[in-house]
Amino acid sequence: MRLRQRYPVNGEQAFEADMPPLLRRIYASRGITGPEALGRKLSELPAPSGFRGLDRALDLLEQAVRTQARVLIVGDFDADGATSTVLGVLALKAFGLLQVDFLVPNRFDYGYGLSPEIVELAARGRPDLLITVDNGISSIQGVKAARDHGIRVLVTDHHLPGAVLPDADAIVNPNQPGCRFPSKNLAGVGVVFFLLTALRARLRESGWFGSQGITEPNMANWLDLVALGTVADVVPLDRVNRVLVYQGIQRIRAGVCRPGMLALLDIAGRDHRRLVASDLGFAVGPRLNAAGRLDDMTHGILCLLEDDPGRARRLAVELDQLNSDRRQIEVAMQQEALAALERLHLDPSTLPWGLCLYDPDWHQGVVGLLASRIKERFHRPVIAFGREGSGALKGSARSIPGLHIRDALDAVATRHPELVSKFGGHAMAAGLSLPESNFESFSAAFDREVRRQLTPAELEEEILFDGELAPGEINLSTAHLLQNAGPWGQHFPEPLFLGRFVVLQQRCLSGKHLKLVLAIEGDPDFTVDAIAFNVAGEFLSGDLDQVDLLYRLAVNVWRGRESVQLLIERILSGEEIL
């Protein structure tokens, strides 16, 4: 691991003079060139007109609404897919469409996306129009099967397309060739939001709402869903996504959101009035995802669709229990994976550059989380596999900066077309299936491809930090300043600081968290609380009298009182800070 301080990319002179110097430096180090890039108003969002295929998609949707066609939304089994599905159902019903339903493939029976098998299941309901959300761009055979049934297909997706696009009636995806929409980083729910915003405008212009006696819906009322799906899918928070997330958070704080959202936050111990983006990523998202990982994402979708707070609460409790079960399975799998690596007597210097892991007993719904944990520990691309059935394996891949994992899988499949059955994904995460008999050959081919694309230096983790805070800056005012300067997230990271502190007190919380009271050497009047999660067994020691920390500044609330707290990201050794 190596540390590197962030510095302004283009200087700080473009910001307003009254902006605090700390904030100017932090923004400039993230490539923000001036105040115009920090706008968070809905009016600053780009028009949907830049989407390729938008007019064809709107024709399909307007006709469906006007003729009261039977519409079926086919979603994905993660938080992005769930929120996309809920948004589609709620908005189309609010627009006056009476017959709209949803179907989410159970990952254990059907796998990902619009497969021919899912089309056969969907066809039983005789839909006139099938809309994919957060999937479909790689569903060549599934779209063909739907068209063969006489079902029109509208694909909405954000994943990277392959060389051949499905023969759908319309495709809306910012990453398809020729699309002029300025943000290529939208989550699936963001794509649906812009599409339905454009549909509302067309219906308004044609007089539909007035003729039907329908109060025109406010799309902003569903931004809580857009914020959740965007943060949970870990897409880069470019300017467009920051606006969507910020506006969604403001509405959740005001209680203008789905009852299921409030219930999930409450069960996770989060006060919706103080919500920050990380609460969506670490509290709500995992509970929603747990349904798709262990059972059926239908439970999560129903929770967010529910209008009655009591019923939404009961569904949220079920999701919370599934998440607890998921954590237990994940911990056991991680221990098994690390034990297997130790039995091989490998260390990070001799591990494969592209690491593939498989155990026949691993739960296929949790292999993605396992891959993430192993990647974080060894800082190299990881693919974890579980058994899919019928002699097939299902893998979930996670990458590191420098390796586009979907392109790497494409390169392997091009060189060895017999190894991989199917694959798809993003730059940092992907999924694939292959015959169990091909695991060893694929593992070797994947390692060779990673070695072709990466350098040894890229296998060394680099942590970027934002310098050091002076004692006078470690206070509640600065914590509030930074909290309100977001939303922070992928590619727009929350500020991280380096500091050396004297340990005045230390104790263990819940058997695994390290709680500290810290001071700065030479300043006995300064003290601050700090907490490091899941490290107590490693660091709790009477010899811990001085520490070098990477930390984030946070607002802690206890019994209604606010105080500043350091959230410790890493306790550093002397060698790491040289």
State the pLDDT confidence band at 575, using cuts at 50, 70 and 90.
low
DSSP string spanning 41-93? -GGGSPPGGGSTTHHHHHHHHHHHHHHT--EEEE--SSHHHHHHHHHHHHHHH
Residue 489 has pLDDT above 50, yes or no: yes
Identify the weakest region by mean pLDDT among 121-135, 252-266, 287-301.
287-301
Please indicate whether residue 406 or residue 575 has the higher confidence score (pLDDT): 406
State the pLDDT confidence band at 578, using cuts at 50, 70 and 90.
very low
Whether the Cβ atoms of residue 415 and residue 445 lie closer than 8 Å to each other: yes
pLDDT at 256: 95
Averaged pLDDT score across all residues of the chain: 91
pLDDT in tens, 59-99: 999 999 999 999 999 998 899 999 999 999 999 999 999 99
Please indicate whether residue 4 or residue 334 has the higher confidence score (pLDDT): 4
pLDDT at 120: 94
Helices and strands per DSSP (H, E), number in the chain: 19, 17
Strand ranges inside 312-427, DSSP E: 355-358, 382-389, 392-398, 422-425
CATH of 44-257, one of 3.40.50.2000, 3.90.1640.30, 3.10.28.10, 3.40.50.2300: 3.90.1640.30
Residue 347 has pLDDT above 80, yes or no: no
Could you tell me the CA-to-CA distances from 455 to 4, 428, 458 in Å, in that order? 18, 17, 5
pLDDT in tens, 106-138: 766 666 779 899 999 999 999 999 999 999 998
Identify the weakest region by mean pLDDT among 20-34, 155-169, 341-355.
341-355
Residue 285 class from Cβ within 10 Å (0-12 exposed, 13-18 middle, 19+ buried)? buried
pLDDT at 110: 66
Mean pLDDT of 472-500: 95
Structure pTM? 0.90
Residue 380 has pLDDT above 50, yes or no: yes
Could you tell me the CA-to-CA distances from 324 to 207, 319, 374 in Å, in that order? 49, 9, 20
Tell me if the domain spanning 464-577 has CATH number 2.40.50.460: yes
pLDDT in tens, 395-449: 999 999 999 998 999 999 999 999 999 888 778 888 899 999 999 999 999 999 9
CATH of 346-459, one of 3.30.465.10, 3.90.1150.10, 3.40.50.2300, 3.10.310.30: 3.10.310.30
Mean pLDDT of 178-193: 97
Residue 463 class from Cβ within 10 Å (0-12 exposed, 13-18 middle, 19+ buried)? middle
Whether the Cβ atoms of residue 400 and residue 380 lie closer than 8 Å to each other: yes
Whether the Cβ atoms of residue 432 and residue 412 lie closer than 8 Å to each other: no
Mean pLDDT of 207-220: 97
pLDDT at 111: 66
Residue 354 has pLDDT above 80, yes or no: yes
Mean pLDDT of 507-531: 87
- Smallest CA-to-CA distance from 473 within 533, 520, 515 is with 520
Cα–Cα distance measured from residue 183 to residue 528, given in angstroms and rounded to the nearest whole number: 41
Whether the Cβ atoms of residue 540 and residue 506 lie closer than 8 Å to each other: yes
Cα–Cα distance measured from residue 200 to residue 62, given in angstroms and rounded to the nearest whole number: 9
pLDDT at 25: 92
Backbone phi and psi for residue 527, each to the nearest 5 degrees, phi listed first: -140, 150
Mean pLDDT of 513-541: 83
Residue 359 has pLDDT above 70, yes or no: yes
Backbone phi and psi for residue 266, each to the nearest 5 degrees, phi listed first: -65, -45
Mean pLDDT of 317-331: 91
State the pLDDT confidence band at 331, using cuts at 50, 70 and 90.
confident
Q: How many CB atoms lie within 10 A of CB 467?
A: 16
Could you tell me the CA-to-CA distances from 37 to 15, 30, 240 in Å, in that order? 10, 11, 10
pLDDT at 109: 65
Mean pLDDT of 335-344: 76
CA angle (451, 398, 424) in 5-degree steps: 95
Tokens 């307003």 — which residue?
A: 16
In the chain, the amino acid numbered 17 is: A
Residue 537 has pLDDT above 80, yes or no: no
Whether the Cβ atoms of residue 281 and residue 231 lie closer than 8 Å to each other: yes
**Cα-to-chain-centroid distance, residue 524:** 42
pLDDT at 215: 96
pLDDT at 523: 79
**Structural domain spans, the chain:** 44-257, 346-459, 464-577
Mean pLDDT of 35-51: 94
